[in-house]
Structure 1
Amino acid sequence: MSLPRIGVVIVTMGTRPRELEALLASVEKQDVPAARVVLVGNATPLTDVTADVTKIPMEENLGCPGGRNVALELLRDSGEVDVVVELDDDGLLVDDDVFRKVQQLFVEDPKLGIIGFRVADEHGHTERRWVPRLRADDPMRRGLVTAFLGGGHAFSMPMLRQTGLWAGEFFFGHEESDLAWRALDAGWKILYEPDLVLQHPKTSPARHAVYYRFTARNRVWLARRRLPVPLIPVYLGVWILLTMARTRSLAGLTAWWGGFFEGVRTPCGPRKPMRWRTVWRMTRLGRPPIL
């Protein structure tokens, strides 16, 4: 069986030139070369990037999922790749055999749709919130999961052709859950593989000014798009309680509630709820779609 061809997608706003240069160098040093590397500039011309990659400068900021979709559409329509690796522009591949391991994993299991990398800081530490399961005490525990981190992962191109691409309208936040739930509902597997490491600085998602608003809005959209009707109030009720318990910032809570009601009022995109057998499958994997 031939090994899958690897494509790489990176989206940048041009604000981390040194980190981006280091990331592109770590992609270049992989012992299995990528068939194509696509760099999308969200509202940035990419004129300072000298690496030999396909550059797509965009006049407007499409958000991370929207920018990635531009590259994914190019790779999908070109027919050049079978697997796509997507990386944050401030990440780094510390090992040079990442693409080879990705190839092997997809060859071993034709129903594997998504591989989630382990994210670790410069000291090798993986925060609990970076482990895509509820029992996050052991970041080295490999296995099938119901979610993945957007910073470093690999997609099967056949899966993307079946499920569709990112929910670009989300712009920032919960687009990973939307895609993961679609993949699971279509029968694909999601594997968390801690041997695949993306080094990433320890940062808080709340550093983004729009974090609270988009987090709340997109969580409502996610529920409206993907959950069976009886689970929508359960899911949203659980997250209201968790948010009220965890958020200490009055400004953050105000923005969160504004986003929540925006999610209720505004169009969320096409609704295609998951099947009840997918709900049961996610429950057996350790994370029912109410958490």
Structure 2
Amino acid sequence: MSPNAPLSVGAVVLTMNDRPVEFPRALACLLAQEGIDLDVVVVGNGCVPEQVPAGIRTVVLPENVGIPEGRNVGAAHVRGEFLFFFDNDAHLPGGDELARLAAELDGDAGLAYVQPRIADPDTGVTLRRWVPRLRAADPARPGIVTVMAEGVVMIRRTAFEAAGGWPGHFFLFHEGIDLSWRLWNHGGTGRYVPDVITHHPATDPSRHTPYHHLNARNRVWLARRNLPRALIPVHLATFSVLTLFRLRTRSALTATLSGFREGLHTPCGPRSPLRWTTIARLTLAGRPPVV
């Protein structure tokens, strides 16, 4: 690539044709980005994508394969040195967000992914779950991070492919932690860049009926896939205590227990435990993989 050539970014957006207002806005803000060589692909997760502007390619999946697998499909159909995964109800308020994120990755060869600050467009509030670290009280504090809010994140393609991509069988929830850990296990790091702002409505994932079941199942799969055997019970004990403290209804408890059982008794996918040196790096970065 010429030294003066713009950095190349491949953006992946999923749709189920269920957001007729937000989805066109998400695509429009991507196409308005400047200073990069941008390629965009829309993946129809169980549908033929509608409201797609001319010049944007589409991929049609005959059934809904879930968010992480849909993103894997999109990544295979888009070009770019860096991959940008973008929720279809998010939007970029300016025209240079992708160029700034790409510049962060381009300037540090050891950086595997960067995440902007996500804020509600109406209130400006950044939810704690959007801040990829334990000490999340100040969402404006930048730094190295060990997990990600997977709905709006840019990842170096070579690192993404080396780590095996998203855990497609998770369907929904915790796929960002799984991928982050594997990116770190391949020698990369993550960075939170809060001066780059992305807007996203501050919705509650627990509004979805399957949330509690999938949340518990995938957490068990996450631990079984990625942790040394000695740390699996520690991680799951911590998760169980925190989850039980947060549950408010009997139905949520029942769904959580059902998901936990499924996670223990069904295949979790290929197992590739984190190296102890990676666990040490994660701990020094502020988040040991037992929390």
Q: Do both proteins adopt the same fold according to a TM-score greater than 0.5, normalized to the shorter chain?
A: yes
Q: CA deviation at 1:13?
A: 1.1
Per the alignment, residue 132 of structure 2 pairs with 132
Q: CA deviation at 1:47?
A: 3.5
Change (3 A) 1:194 1:279: same
Q: CA deviation at 1:3?
A: 4.5
1:3 and 1:33 map into 2 onto residues whose CA distance is 5
Q: Contact 2:17 / 2:47 at 8 angstroms: preserved in 1? A: yes
Aligned length: 287
Q: Contact 2:8 / 2:36 at 8 angstroms: preserved in 1? A: no
Choose which of 27, 31, 46 in structure 2 pairs with 1:28. Answer: 31
- Counterparts of 1:78-89 in structure 2, within 5 Å, are 80-89=79-88
Deviating more after overlay: 24-33 vs 217-226 = 24-33
Q: Does 1:117 align with 2:116?
A: yes
- Counterparts of 1:222-237 in structure 2, within 5 Å, are 222-237=222-237
Per the alignment, residue 94 of structure 1 pairs with 93
Per the alignment, residue 147 of structure 1 pairs with 147
Q: CA deviation at 1:34?
A: 4.2
AA partner of residue 237 (structure 1): A
2:204 and 2:276 map into 1 onto residues whose CA distance is 34
Q: Contact 1:3 / 1:107 at 8 angstroms: preserved in 2? A: no
AA partner of residue 187 (structure 2): G
Q: CA deviation at 1:152?
A: 0.6
Q: CA deviation at 1:130?
A: 1.3
AA partner of residue 218 (structure 1): N
Q: Using the aligned pairs only, state the percent identity.
A: 41
Per the alignment, residue 22 of structure 2 pairs with 19
Q: TM-score w.r.t. structure 1 length?
A: 0.96
Per the alignment, residue 194 of structure 1 pairs with 194
Q: TM-score w.r.t. structure 2 length?
A: 0.96
AA partner of residue 38 (structure 1): V
SS in 2 for 1:195: strand
SS in 2 for 1:93: coil
Change (3 A) 1:3 1:110: farther
2:191 and 2:36 map into 1 onto residues whose CA distance is 23
SS in 2 for 1:84: strand
Where does the alignment leave 5 or more consecutive residues of structure 2 unmatched?
A: none
SS in 1 for 2:269: coil
Where does the alignment leave 5 or more consecutive residues of structure 1 unmatched?
A: none
Per the alignment, residue 166 of structure 1 pairs with 166
AA partner of residue 104 (structure 2): L
1:282 and 1:271 map into 2 onto residues whose CA distance is 19
